[in-house]
Amino acid sequence: MEIPVVTGEQVLTTLRDAFYQVVPLEYKTYCVLTAQICCRVLRHFGIAAYVEPCQLWWVAPGQNYIVGFHRKARESQWEGHVVCRGESFLIDAALYHVQRGLGVEVPTIVVGQVFDVRSNVICRYDLSADTRLWWHRPPHELDIQIPDEPEDLIVRYSDELISKLELSLGAGSHGPQLVPAEWQSIP
């Protein structure tokens, strides 16, 4: 049996499209959980990925809104934000904080291209001609210790996603053979 050849971009796109078909929407504000699920799925397909702390900025003319690392943590809630990060991409599946905080529509999950120069800004994603999402590194003086999430949830949903992606990518139980691809923006 011939092993299908797919690009990392195909895996990212398929993961983006399948994520909330598998993971319940009740977890759309759980950035640590969703990032860890994404990382585990991508590693299964041979794509290096890790959880990266960041600030998420929603920016429009005359208005900014920040998620993560901008105020003191409350006892009951971590005040940070994380994404699933690879060498040239990030996946944020916890954008609902922006929608809930501002009442504006945002995608439930974004795959974006990270900047190829080291700076405070990690990535930008254009929502419209004048509205953007920006991911910044968190301020240095803040505690960025990431809380633990239930391992059983990470394993359960990532295993379900892996099965769904293997089926969608035509990989079966052998897994796809990944080929390098130039990054192209994933709409």
In which band, very low, low, confident or very high, does the pLDDT at 3 lie, cut at 50, 70 and 90? low
In which band, very low, low, confident or very high, does the pLDDT at 185 lie, cut at 50, 70 and 90? very low
Q: Which amino acid is at 42?
A: L
- The dihedral sign for the CA sequence 106, 46, 18, 155: negative
Give the pLDDT confidence score for residue 171 in this predicted structure: 60
Range picked from 43-47, 100-104, 158-162 for highest mean pLDDT: 158-162
Confidence check: pLDDT of 148 > 70: yes
Give the pLDDT confidence score for residue 186 in this predicted structure: 45
